[in-house]
Amino acid sequence: MIKKTAFLFLILSSIAVNLFAQDTSAYEIQRLKINALLAERSAKFGQYDESLNTKTGIFGFQTKRDIRNSNEILRQIALNDNDIFKELKILLDYKDLQVEQVKTAVNSNSESIQNYRRSIKNLQDQNESLNNSINKLEKSRNLAYLFILLLLIGGAILAYYLNVKNKQLKNYKKAN
């Protein structure tokens, strides 16, 4: 039963370590610590298994010393398990910190994107307003050009009419 539990714990720990693996150096160092503790645990469990089979007593029985030795190895395995749990907690804290950093970066980026969108919308509105102003100015300029053209044509017609009347007046004066 203890072998199955230890093996299951070893596999689950390895999976947990692999699932939370990151490229940061502190995370990698912590992961290596846990892997070393797991290897140490596996070795101690092998020693425990050997100690259970050790029978130094008369007629092939275990002595109190054999049982104490097995219990001491089992106690060391339990202490090692506690160390593994502590190191896993630190590893998970690193992971939580990284998740928080990513969330903060996402929120910051989201705010920046919203600000950029507002700026773009304001610039588009301002651009549309300026285009409308340009269109109004072009219409008023075209109207001013038309008015000037009409004045010039009217002035030319008036000058021609006055010139014709002036010639008629001169001819009338010469005739009289």
CA 61 to chain centre: 65
Q: Looking at residues 142-158, what average pLDDT do you find?
A: 94
What whole-number distance in Å separates Cα of residue 94 and Cα of residue 153? 86
Residue 76 burial class via C-beta count within 10 angstroms: exposed 0-12, middle 13-18, buried 19 and up: middle
46: left (phi over 0), alpha (psi -120 to 50) or beta: alpha
pLDDT in tens, 24-61: 788 899 889 999 999 999 898 888 888 888 777 776 67
Question: H/E element holding 96?
Answer: helix 64-175
Task: For residue range 113-129, list pLDDT tens digits in order.
Answer: 999 999 999 999 999 99
- Residue 77 vs residue 2, higher pLDDT: 77
Residue-wise over 43-63: b if at least 16 C-beta within 10 A, else e? ebbebbeebbeeeeeeeeebe
Q: What is the pLDDT of residues 74-133, one digit of tens each?
A: 999 999 999 999 999 988 888 888 899 999 999 999 999 999 999 999 999 999 999 999
Residue written as tokens 């720990």?
A: 13
The CA distance from 36 to 55, in Å, is: 30
The ranges assigned to domains in the chain are: 2-130
Q: What span, in angstroms and rounded, lies between the C-alpha atoms of 120 and 128?
A: 12
Which secondary structure element, helix H or strand E, spans residue 57, and what is its range?
none
